[in-house]
Structure formats: C-alpha cells, structure tokens
Amino acid sequence: MSVKLLTTILLSLSMLGCASQDKKNAKILNSSKEWNDMQRKLDSLFNASYSAGTFNGNVLIASGDTILFQKSYGIANHSTGQLLNDSSVFELASVSKQFTAMAIVLLKEKGKLNYADSLRYFFPELPYSNITVKHLLHHTSGLPDYMELVMRNTKAGSIATNESMIALLAEHKPSINFKPGEKWEYSNTGYALLASIVEKASGKSFADFLQSAIFTPLGMTHTEVYHRRYDKRTISNYALGYVPGGKGNFILDDSVPGIRDYVTLLDGISGDGTVISTTSDLLKWSVASDKHLLVSEAVQKEIFTAGTLNNGSQHGYGYGWMIMKAKPAGHIITHTGGWPGYATLIEKHPDHGKTIIVLSNHDQSGVVFKKIKDILYNITETAPKEIKLESGKLADYAGTYELAPDFKITITAKDDKLFAQATGQGEYEVFAEKEDLFFYKVVEAKIKFNRNEKNEIISLTLLQEGQEIPGKKIN
C-alpha cells in the first residue's frame, strides 16, 4: 500500500444503473425513517458521481449481515449494452490479497507451514536469505517488484505465470530493496510468492485450494480465481473493465495496445490479484470473519492486527488487510485494488459492525469515501472558508515533504497561489483556511504545516478520511 492523496476509487459511467437487493444473502431492513433517509442520501451521492461521469459500478453497505444499501450504477458491457446488476462479477485486483493471506493462515493452522518458514525452504533456487512467510504477509520482505522484470524478459504475446516469474527471479537475482523487516513496502512479488507457497504446502493449485477451503465453505458461488486471457473461458454476467478513451468516453482495456500488452502478459500470475467476485459474495466473506467461520476468534484477531518492524514500530498492515484508525468509524480494516479497468474497495468498521464494498469496472473515479462515512454516521460538516495570505508567506511553505518512502508531496508557491503535487498525481491548488492550514477543493483533504521553536516549517500533516499522515520536509 503506498500512501495516496486521492483515496477515492477510480471510476466513470455512461448509462443509468439499476438497483436490486439480494434477499437470499442478507436480512434487509425496509421500514425505518432513518434507514430510508440514509438510503436516499447514499443514492444521491452515487447518482451525483454517476451523472458527473465519475462512477460506474456496484455498491453494498451493510451492518453485520443486514444490507443497508445495495445498488448498481452503469454498464457491464458497452458493446452489448448489458447493465450491471447485483450479481455482476468484477476483478478484485489487490483486494484478492486477503484471500491469499487466509489460505496461508489456514495451512498454518493445519500444520502445513509456519510463519517463520524461510522463503528458500520453498524455493531454494531463489537467492534471498532471511525472508520468512510472515515477511511476505506483512510486505516487509524487501523484495523488488516482479512486474518490470517480467515485462522486460517475457516474449511479447505470451503470458507469464507464477512459475515463470520465479524462474526469472532466480535467473536475474534482482537485489532486495532493504533488509527483511527493516521497512514496510507494498509488494506484489511477496503475495505472488505466497500463492506459490500455498501450492507447495497444500499439493493443490492455488485456485483449487481457495475454492475448496474458502469459497465453497462460505457459499461464495460467484467467486473464484480467474485469468480472463490465460484461462480462455468466459464468465457469465462479467463486468468488463474500461479505461479512459479521451473526450469523456471509456474503452475496453484490451483496446489500448500498451495496456493490452501489460494486462495480457501478467494475466497468468496469481496471489497479488486475479480473484473475481460480487458485492454479495464479499459480504459473505466479511460476515464470515465476524462470526469466525474459517478460523478461531484469536486467529482472526491476528489477521486483523498490524505487524511490527525490526525496531518494534507498527507498519499498519495485517495479513492481507490495511489496519488504521479514523474518525468517525474508529478501527478500520480495509483494502483497495486497482488494475486497468477496475478499482475496488472493501472496508470493515468493527467498532460499529459496518462493511462498505465498492466495485468498479471503470478505473477513474470521483467517489469521496469520507462522504459515505459521514452519511453512515450522520456527520454534518461545514465547508472551510477561504482566506487570503500575503504572497510572501506562501513562499515559506514551498518544499518537498516525505510521507512514505514512495510518496512525497511537493509544495510550490506561484502567482500568489499555493499548489500541492503528490507522487504520481497532478498539481492542485490548495487554499488557506487559516495560517498554516490549507484545504483542497478537488478532494476532501487538508494540509497542516508544522513549525519548530524557531518558527521554521519542518513538516506537514495530511488530513484525510480521518487520518493524520505526517511528512518531514526534506528540501
């Protein structure tokens, strides 16, 4: 997980959606003024994003196993005109990682492996020492990302697999980014390797193990491991993924040569992605963790507990889940996923028993999740008022601030205005609410600048979604 300023799911839309509720999968409230008001506000929020062309997908919000809100917005297949519905199947991208992690946990509970097992115990051909299964689970292995290596060394038109990826790591021996346990760095490589460890330890294919150990027992009938191009089979009611095509329209991800080559070549690799599912099935998955249907309460608690680095500090990631605290929800257990054509999120609020699931088959979005939470918890906030600061003061804020090893915010003052640009994102103007406190208009977020005893600005704090993320000024 890299820190992101815009923590919205990336999506878009083009046709009216349709709504329905799966009464077989959850109890549904249907008589409550408060419930009706909440539904109206949520529908208004998503319809506004839909109408603005910034959301296309399915939404499900629940309290325990009771569905509070479930609706589809937009289209599943532009060529046929098929609309999304409650049973539309989406690619989950990195939301898949929680299933990979659970597979490892189940095998550990059966005595098939240990978290302290070395990576080289399973793959002696790899050159990486002192990396354990737990390092892989927590993204603290230091392993380099496999994608560039695979793209550079795989024949055009072919499809890489976990086996071929591991062979490339063994052959090219790319250096680790840091000593195991020293830092936290999101690693697709680690979770792809975990999928292959599942196969070694279970004697089954990764897909078969997830099916028999997780999906079938939980009644997740629309969930499986699926490689759309590698498997060469079709799934009914499939939400095809679309990417921006210019002039406000969206085109199939396979229609763009560069994207097509990327998603095709990497399509055979499992563990870091490639699970497909529906909102209703993901609710079953969420409820299963609350009721400890797969593992004991103690083991489930371990899954939802942030790990620690070698220096004893916590890094905010459990086993396939991001762990945090933010008002008004309190404890938050969540994961997002992003892949060309798809943007996904599942978020649990255990203090209140709430689950939020949003699946999109357009990879650009303007959905603000803080607004969802404000509606759920009946929070009303007044918009900040802009004030003008002297242009000379704005120059004091200029500089680069590091919030994480792979995420920085650069502040620039120009033409009596202040701008902020986060890693991998555009430059946006920020507006003074008061001295040292600025807010965005493109997203619900603020930046607070911090001074030392000499009145020098030494850091900033990004305030978003109830989180406070500090960033040291590095130049």
What residues does 438 pair with on adjacent strands? 432, 447
Minimal CA–CA distance to 444: which of 429, 424, 464?
Answer: 464
Which one of the listed residues 12, 49, 72, 94 is annotated catalytic?
Answer: 94
Token pair recorded at residue 430: 């920020």
Amino acid at 50: Y
Active site residue 255: no
Token pair recorded at residue 108: 């550990």
What are all long-range contacts of 447-455, with beta carbons under 8 Å and residues at least 24 apart? 447/409, 447/411, 447/420, 449/397
The residues carrying an active-site annotation are: 94
